[in-house]
Structure 1
Amino acid sequence: MTKNSAWTILAVIGAIVIAWFLVNVLFSLVAFVVKLILVAIVAVIVYVVMRVFVGGRDDRR
């Protein structure tokens, strides 16, 4: 095996390790954003339901 081949193999292994790390970070970020959106949607639904049950009995007319 020549010196060039060894460096090429090390470069490929390094690229795979870096790509693995970046994909993990990207998936974590996407999962966090999706979770944040779902929490916001559920919070709006809960708020509307609470307003209907609690705020619907306002007889101050």
Structure 2
Amino acid sequence: MSRNVWTVIGVIVAVVIAWWLVDVLFHLAWMVARLSIVAVVAVIVFFVIRALVAKRD
């Protein structure tokens, strides 16, 4: 009986840890994707501003 209880507790702890790890990994992956998108948009905006300033000279 005691082994069954520890098995159930072990499964619950494993699921909680896995849930937390997946949440952290998805959060980090989303942050990297968002930073990549921001970098691409920043480069585009930089070149647009540079082109506008170059036309005025």
Q: Which TM-score band (shorter chain)?
A: over 0.9
Deviation readout 1:8-48 (Å, 9 max, x if unpaired): 00000000000010001001000000011000000000001
Residue aligning to 2:35: 36
Moved beyond 6 Å, runs of 4+: none
Residue aligning to 1:17: 16
Higher radius of gyration, 1 or 2: 1
TM-score normalised by structure 1 residue count:
0.88
Stretches of structure 1 lacking an aligned partner (at least 5 in a row): none
How large is the RMSD of aligned CA atoms in angstroms?
A: 0.8
